[in-house]
Amino acid sequence: MLDNPQTVHSGGDLPEGSLPIGTYVRSLETDCLGIVTDSFVGAEDEVGTEILIYSILLLPKRKTVLDITESTLTPFYMINELEYNIIAYNMIKPMSKKGMDLMTRDLMI
C-alpha cells in the first residue's frame, strides 16, 4: 500500500492537515522523541482518506538529562512514520530551521 507515494514534499507546500516542520513528536514504534522534517501523502485507507507519512529526525536517547557522554548517546536516525504511529506535541513551539541546523551541524559531512 505504501510502495508508491502519491505526493512527495520537495520544499513546496505540505499536504493539507499535516504537522508543521519542526514539530516535536514521539514515535510509537521506536519510543523515541523526534522532530518532523517533512511530510507526504503515502496512500489511502479503506474508506479513501489520505494517509500522511512523516519524515522524522529521531533524537539521541539519554539515560538522564545530565548524562550526555558519548558512550550514553545513541545516534540520530531518520525514519518515516505513518501519522497513526506518532504522538505530536502541539503544545510546544516547533523547532526552527536554524535550531535544527545548529543541532545537526556536526553530522554534516
Domain membership of residue 107 (yes or no) is: no
Nearest CA to 37 among 5, 8, 6, 2? 8
Q: 18-53, pLDDT tens digit by residue?
A: 999 999 999 999 898 999 999 999 888 889 889 999
Domain membership of residue 59 (yes or no) is: yes
Give CA–CA dist 40/102, Å, rounded.
25
Continuous segment of H or E residues that includes residue 86: strand 86-88
Q: 67-94, pLDDT tens digit by residue?
A: 555 555 567 889 999 999 999 999 999 9
The mean-pLDDT minimum among 5-9, 36-40, 54-58 falls in: 5-9
How many domains does the structure of the chain reveal? 1
The whole domain housing 61 covers 1-93
| pLDDT given at position 106 | 62
Query: Grid coordinates standing for 64?
Result: 538522564
Q: Is the predicted pLDDT of residue 1 greater than 90, yes or no?
A: no
Mean pLDDT throughout 62-71?
A: 58
| pLDDT given at position 6 | 40
